[in-house]
Structures are given as structure tokens and as C-alpha cells.
Amino acid sequence: SAVISQKPSRDICQRGTSLTIQCQVDSQVTMMFWYRQQPGQSLTLIATANQGSEATYESGFVIDKFPISRPNLTFSTLTVSNMSPEDSSIYLCSALGDTTYEQYFGPGTRLTVT
């Protein structure tokens, strides 16, 4: 199994600023993902973090707003840029293990934009 940690666990930011969220997995994983969970809502996939190349974004999410890096097989970052109150959400990192059904989640980062 894999354990995922995220930093920070929560933050309060002012509109117009940017926040970078870090995701660290304690073992090598095949794929990493970033999800957003707006207050009281379900999880929505933002993008797939590709190791050594540009992330693959889902419809409605763009690189300028949510730049993602994945420099190696165990680490990824998500930046929320030029934040507005609508970006207030929980951001979760997820990873797919070696077997086809192992999927792990980080504890999430609760972001509040004022």
C-alpha cells in the first residue's frame, strides 16, 4: 500500500494570490491525480499529473489556472493561481498503485479564499 501526505493541510489566502499544494507518496506509483471537492459537493478530477511532461487537464480546467508539476514518480504539486473565493475547496491528491485496483488518497488541503 501507499501513504500520501499533502502540505499544507489548510490555508486561508487572499484573492489574487497563488498557493502551491504539495503531494508526496511514500512509494512509487504509476499515476497521480488532482481532485477538487467544493463545499458539500462531490469530487471532480482536475488533471492527471504526468511524470516529466505536461499534465492532462479535464474539461473546465486549464493549465494557466492550475499548473501542475510531477518531477518524479512520488511527488507532485498543484498551484491554484490568481485565486478567487470560488476556488475555496478541498484539493485532494490521489495515486494509482501497481495493481489495477489500488487507489490512494491524500488527506486533502482545505483552501479558503477571502
Partner 1 sequence: AQTVTQSQPEMSVQEAETVTLSCTYDTSESDYYLFWYKQPPSRQMILVIRQEAYKQQNATENRFSVNFQKAAKSFSLKISDSQLGDAAMYFCAYRSALAGGTSYGKLTFGQGTILTVHP
Question: Which residues of this chain interact with partner 1, rule CB under 8 A?
Answer: 30-31, 33, 35, 41-45, 48, 90, 92, 94, 96, 100-101, 103, 105, 107-108, 110
CB of 43 to partner 1, least distance (A): 5
Supply the minimum distance, in Å, between the C-beta of residue 101 and partner 1. 6
Minimum distance from CB of 104 to partner 1 (Å)? 9
Which is closer to partner 1, CB of 16 or CB of 95? 95
Cell of 108: 486533502
Cα(41)–Cα(62) distance, rounded to whole angstroms? 21
Per the CB < 8 A criterion, the answer to whether 20 and 77 are in contact is yes
User: Quick one: 14 or 100, whose CB is closer to partner 1?
Assistant: 100
A 10 A CB-CB count for 12 gives 11
Q: Between residues 93 and 113, which has the closer beta carbon with respect to partner 1?
A: 93
